[in-house]
Structures are given as C-alpha cells and as structure tokens.
Amino acid sequence: MHIFQDNNPFTTNDSKIKEKFMLIPSIGYELDKKQGNATLAFDGWYYRSLDSSIIKNIIKNTLQAALDFMGKGETANEERLEPFFVADVPDRKFKLRLSESISQVVSTDENGRFHQTIIVNSLIRLPVQGQVLKYIAIDDSHSQNGYEGTVYVMKNTDHIGCSIISDIDDTIKISEVPFKTKLMMNTFKKPFEAVPGMSDVYRSWESLHQCLIHYVSAMPSQLYYVTQNFLNQQKFPGGSFHMRHLKLVSKEKVNLLKHIIDFVQHDASQRHKVSVIENILTHAPIKQQFTMVGDSGEVDPEIYGTIARRFPHRINMIFIRVVDGGKNDDNRFKDAFQNVSRDKWKLFSNAAELPKKLYNDINTTIPIDITIDVTSVKPNNTKILSTSFVLAILPMLVTLVFISQYI
C-alpha cells in the first residue's frame, strides 16, 4: 500500500513552495536468481502550481457549469480537479537512494516525468522485504530526509510466480464508461465506488500466491493520487501503476496541441495498454505467470486477446467483467479471443464468480468453470470509444483557456 506523506501532493499550506514531486509505484525484475542481478524501474512526476488564481477560478467555474448541466447535486471534487492545474517541471535533478551505498542522480524530462532504470548486481544489498523495495528520493529544495517510493520486484524463483494485470475503470472501480455523462460524473463529482467484492478477491490472490498487482490504466496520471487513495481506502493490494501523462501547459503551443490530439485518439488507450503489458511480459522472469482482469466496457477483451496470442505460454487466465452498456454479444468475445484456448478466458458479472485461488498448488492452475447469462446485461451497440476520449474533454477545455489567456 502506498501512503502519501502529504495530505494532498497537489496542495500546500506554504505559499512559498511552488514546486513538488510525487513518486509513483513502479516495477522491477530479478534477472538472475544465483547472481541476484535485477533491473529496477523508478517513476515520478515533478510539477509546479500555477500562479493565477483568477484563471483557475474561471476554468473551474466553467467545468462546474458543465458538470451541473450533466447532473445536479454535488459540486465538482476539488481534489480531482486540482492536478490539472499544475505545470510540468523539466530538467529537475534529484537523487534516488536505494541503500547507503547505492544511489543515482536522475533528471525529469520535458513532461516533468522521470522514468529511470537502474541495474543492480544484487538484491541482497537492498532493503527488499518480500517483493517490495522501498527507496528514498531526495530533493534538497524540499526535504533533506527525502520521500519514500516503492518498487514491486518480480523474483526469479524455481516455482511459478504470479502477477495480476488489472484495469481500473469498471473492473475494480465503478465508472460506467459506456455512458459518457455518468463517466464524467463518477470521475469528477461523485464519491468513488468499488466494484463489490473485488478487493477481497485480489487480497485472496495476493495472500495465497504472493501475487504482484500491476494496475494498467489509460486514465490521465493526474488522477493517480485520488485513485491510489481510493484503492487504499477500499483495501486493494498495493501494486505498480502504469498510466498515461496528459500534458496541459506548455509554451510550445503546436507540440502541446499535438500531444492532446494524440492522447484522445480512438486507439490511444489500446496502444498504451498493449505497449505496457508487452513490456512487462518481455522483461518478467520466465516462470512468471499472468492473470489479466478487465471489463467489456471498452477494449480490454481485444487487448488481452492480443497479448494472449503473442505470449500464449505466459497467460494463466483472463477474466472479463461484463458491464451494462458494453458490447456483450458472443461474436465480439469470439473475435477478441480468436485462437486463444476457451479455457483461458472467462466472463463474470460479479466478484463472487471469481475463484479465490488461481493455482491448485505452486505449479498447477485451477480449471475454472464460469458461465454467465450475458443477455441479462444491458447492451450498447454504439462504437466503443477510449476512456481517454471523454476524460480529455475537460482537460482540453482547460488547455484552450491556458493557450488563449495564460501561456
């Protein structure tokens, strides 16, 4: 579980502190069991608050009016809007300290992000507890003691390792993605709500099989903080996060608009998830097996089908939650999982239909029989769009105002 050292990393009571950084849980791979060699990835975001409260208020009022038009009730959640009112800080240097003797200076890229890979000769020299490595990021302008980050490490063992690739929206958190107005309300206005029973299932898998969880989502990384807090509150296991960064403020207007257009393209969500999952499976120890969990609201079946065909011996099981409004006909699933063994993918409508165990023993998968009546789920015959298309509507409005009046 990732605990934030600030109540909210996007706000501060000290008006003098304009720049802050946030560490995002990442992933590591033990390459050689005997030698202990490992590749460790580190992920974070450096940003600054925007000075103009007038512009922020104008934009927030505009967004609030849009949300009010969609549905009366609660005001927009400030905690979820605030991350869109910061600017990325490039070329900021700070130190990652893995142990007393191992550290490295890293620098943020043009998006204020750092994605640093460090290869170590031995995990023995590092403070790895189970499969979790804690490290410290030090920026002299903030705290000499630094901030604690987390890397979830896949161990290279003699037995089967377990990883869960999990979507978030409508898989473990109710977002109602196929219904765009409801999606906006659930994302920016209403309290987050967990899919009943999913945290119990994930905790069972984590406990019984020492599974690592990898949360792979196409939502903007600006929503990482509120999403991580939601997972903590709902007692989901900790895990690595793999989201997309949405750049909203830049002096390079042409590049900024190009970035936003790329973000909202129809297939952008699918390309992001396929790329992330392929990268994880490519670097994972050979005995690491993967269970993928998603939903029918977007393109998870097509994404997971693609991965299963490319890595047929690495996929233990695929579970797809059938949701109202998704394209839920048999032909869709047959096409998505073409050439994937029928006993490798299952549909479910609620968490009670998922197995508590994924393996009978350390080397044997469990035959799982899950059949549901998809006719009881309300279909949606409209073309499936990426979540990012809708989530980007509000950020695009923010960007247009910044370009015209601020930048």
Any domain includes 93: yes
Residue 4: inside a domain: no
Structural domain including 196 reads: 19-405
pLDDT computed for residue 63 by the predictor: 67
Q: Is residue 221 part of a domain?
A: yes
* Residue 268 to residue 246: CA distance in whole angstroms: 12
Are residues 232 and 368 in contact, defined by beta-carbon separation less than 8 angstroms?
A: no
Does residue 267 sit within a domain?
yes
Contacts of 78 (CB under 8 A, 6+ apart): none
- Answer whether residue 104 is part of any domain: yes
DSSP state of 366: P
φ and ψ at residue 371, rounded to 5 degrees = -130, 135
- pLDDT score of 73: 60
Q: What pLDDT does residue 202 have?
A: 98
Record the tokens describing residue 1, joined without a space. 């579980």
Structural domains of the chain, count: 1
In a domain? residue 197: yes
CATH number at residue 107: 3.40.50.1000
Question: How many angstroms separate the CA atoms of 194 and 155, rounded?
Answer: 30
- Whether residue 87 is contained in a domain is answered as yes
The sign one gets for the Cα dihedral 166, 167, 170, 174 is positive
Is 334 in a helix, a strand, or coil? helix
Write out the chain's pLDDT in tens, 407 residues: 454 545 565 554 455 557 788 899 999 999 876 666 899 999 999 988 776 656 566 666 766 666 666 665 666 677 787 887 788 899 999 899 999 889 999 999 988 999 999 999 888 889 999 999 999 998 866 555 678 999 999 998 888 899 999 999 999 999 998 887 888 888 888 889 999 999 999 999 999 999 999 999 998 898 999 999 999 999 999 999 999 988 766 666 667 677 677 777 778 889 999 999 999 999 999 999 999 999 999 999 999 999 999 999 999 999 999 999 988 999 999 999 999 999 999 999 999 999 989 987 655 555 555 444 444 445 444 444 444 444 445 444 444 444 443 44
238 contacts 150 by C-beta, under 8 angstroms? yes
Is residue 13 domain-resident? no
Distances (CA, A) of 294 to 96, 265, 298, 317: 34, 21, 9, 11
- Residues 398/82, Cβ–Cβ less than 8 Å: no
Q: Which two tokens stand for residue 117?
A: 């890979």
Q: What is the pLDDT of residue 183?
A: 85
- CA–CA separation, 166 vs 261, rounded Å? 26
